[in-house]
């Protein structure tokens, strides 16, 4: 029987003391982290048997642990090459036991033995909220995620998500717009920009926020790596918000991870006939907390005053008096003629104002009509 501490559910989660403390163990762990078939749970089991990363790697190379493919691959890997690749992408390796290894990851039954990190240090526990949802989100869903990301960051709360297109990207962008901290957790190697459409966003996050992966440089994205990525998002967060998700959405997996870890789950409701509201409505029926915006969220988390004096919203845009007047005339979905009539102007005079508001992200054009974007709230 193991004498290692266990969670209430009986799952051992503690790595042996000093598992990767010595330099030789740290180098061994870099190799172990590169083995595709050696999952975190299997590595944890090996760690409990052998005590150190170096001993675990020896067991793999001698064929006493892992797969035959692991044995061959481990024999070919040089930790110097891995360290050079980590350095080349301006990342660092944070092993379990290090001061900056997030202790809340050990709430997982399969905690990563280390994280590859780019950018700012990881945020302190208790000040992180995850925002997840549909990749193919609606315009209003994307606006809501952007607004939540912005308002959380403006209150000093870190926003964590997975950098996927749609809701993930919108929440990151909102946090960046507020000059706050955002963390992107990847389902691929720390050096990869995935999805490719998020390349510029990930570059900004690396510069202004934090990028995290349990995978070393060179590891490609894979379908099974995204659910694994979701468990890290849930573990690092104090609460998780779902903004849109169709039936079968990966956001439901994230919510399930959060619930398993005892994290609070929140959902943004939508129209009952909207397929993208399926996951939020299912979660609400099963006990998740319905929120209308960040004030509800922060109140329920007990973070009402979190960082209110720390971070200012830099996303507030300058609009001319004429643009503000045109914006005020947009109630619901309106034709340019309606705005022009309300202002006593001609349509050719109003169209440049509407186009400028659209370029600033304050309104959108829908079939020749214009409507406010949710993210415009509080910005003009």
Please give the model's pTM, rounded to 2 decimal places. Answer: 0.80
**What does the alpha-carbon distance between residue 44 and residue 41 come to, in Å, rounded to a whole number?**
5
Tens-digit pLDDT profile for residues 177-227: 999 999 999 999 999 998 888 999 999 999 999 999 999 999 999 888 998
Q: What domain range is 367 assigned to? A: 321-376
What pLDDT, on a 0 to 100 scale, did the predictor assign at position 368?
87
3 state DSSP class of 334: strand
Residue 269 inside a domain? The answer is yes
Residue 123 inside a domain? The answer is no
285 and 336: one domain?
no
Single residue among 242, 267, 301 that ends a domain in this structure: 301
139 and 61: one domain?
no
Domain CATH code at residue 350:
1.10.10.10
Give residues with Cβ within 8 angstroms of 248, minimum separation 6. Answer: none
Q: How confident is the model at residue 293 (pLDDT cuts 50, 70, 90)?
A: confident
Q: Is residue 42 a contact partner of residue 66, using CB atoms and an 8 Å limit? A: yes
Single residue among 38, 54, 77 that ends a domain in this structure: 77
CA neighbor of 294 nearest in space, from 157, 148, 90: 148
Looking at residues 265-283, what average pLDDT do you find?
Answer: 94
Residue 43 inside a domain? The answer is yes
Q: How confident is the model at residue 374 (pLDDT cuts 50, 70, 90)?
A: low
342 and 297: one domain?
no
4 and 145: one domain?
no
297 and 326: one domain?
no
Query: Higher model confidence: residue 98 or residue 331?
Result: 98
Q: Judging by DSSP bridges, how do beta strands 210-213 and 114-119 pair with one another?
A: antiparallel
Residue 340 inside a domain? The answer is yes
CA neighbor of 141 nearest in space, from 33, 263, 265, 246: 246
357 and 217: one domain?
no
**What does the alpha-carbon distance between residue 132 and residue 59 come to, in Å, rounded to a whole number?**
39
The token pair that represents 224 in the structure block? 């099974």
Residue 109 inside a domain? The answer is no
Residue 33 inside a domain? The answer is yes
Tally the residues of the chain.
380
286 and 206: one domain?
yes
134 and 223: one domain?
yes
Domain CATH code at residue 175:
3.40.50.450
Residue 286 inside a domain? The answer is yes
362 and 244: one domain?
no
Domain count, the chain: 3
189 and 267: one domain?
yes
Average confidence score pLDDT of the chain:
88
DSSP 98: S
Q: Is the pLDDT of residue 2 over 80?
A: no
293 and 327: one domain?
no
What pLDDT, on a 0 to 100 scale, did the predictor assign at position 267?
96
151 and 248: one domain?
yes
**What does the alpha-carbon distance between residue 202 and residue 314 come to, in Å, rounded to a whole number?**
19
Residue 173 inside a domain? The answer is yes
């Amino acid at each position: 029987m193991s004498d290692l501490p266990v969670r209430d559910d009986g799952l051992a989660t503690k790595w042996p003391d000093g598992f990767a403390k010595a330099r030789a163990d740290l180098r061994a762990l870099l190799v172990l982290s590169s083995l595709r078939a050696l999952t975190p749970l299997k590595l944890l089991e090996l760690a409990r048997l052998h005590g150190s990363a170096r001993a675990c790697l020896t067991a793999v190379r001698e064929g006493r642990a892992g797969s035959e493919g692991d044995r061959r691959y481990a024999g070919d890997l040089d930790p110097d090459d891995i360290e050079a690749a980590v350095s080349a992408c301006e990342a660092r390796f944070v092993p379990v036991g290090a001061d900056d290894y997030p202790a809340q990851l050990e709430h997982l039954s399969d905690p990563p033995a280390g994280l590859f990190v780019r950018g700012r240090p990881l945020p302190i526990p208790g000040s992180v909220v995850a925002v997840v949802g549909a990749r193919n989100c609606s315009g209003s869903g994307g606006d809501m995620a952007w607004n939540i990301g912005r308002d959380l960051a403006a209150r000093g709360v870190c926003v964590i998500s997975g950098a996927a297109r749609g809701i993930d990207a919108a929440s990151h962008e909102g946090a960046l717009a507020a000059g706050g901290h955002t963390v992107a957790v990847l389902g691929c190697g720390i050096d990869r920009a995935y999805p490719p459409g998020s390349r510029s966003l990930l570059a900004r996050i690396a510069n202004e926020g934090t990028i995290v992966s349990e995978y070393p440089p060179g590891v490609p994205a894979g379908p099974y790596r995204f659910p694994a990525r979701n468990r890290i998002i849930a573990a690092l967060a104090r609460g998780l918000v779902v903004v849109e998700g169709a039936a079968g959405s990966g956001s439901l997996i994230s919510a399930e991870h959060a619930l398993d870890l005892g994290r609070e789950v929140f959902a943004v409701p939508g129209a009952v006939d909207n397929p993208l509201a399926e996951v939020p409505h299912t979660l609400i029926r099963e006990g998740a907390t319905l929120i209308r915006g960040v004030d509800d969220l922060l109140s329920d988390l007990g973070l009402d005053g979190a960082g209110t004096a720390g971070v200012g919203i830099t996303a507030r845009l300058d609009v001319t008096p004429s643009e503000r007047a045109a914006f005020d005339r947009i109630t619901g979905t309106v034709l340019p003629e309606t705005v022009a009539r309300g202002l006593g102007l001609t349509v050719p005079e109003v169209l440049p104002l509407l186009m400028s508001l659209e370029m600033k992200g304050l309104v959108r054009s829908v079939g020749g009509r214009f409507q406010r974007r949710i993210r415009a709230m509080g910005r003009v």
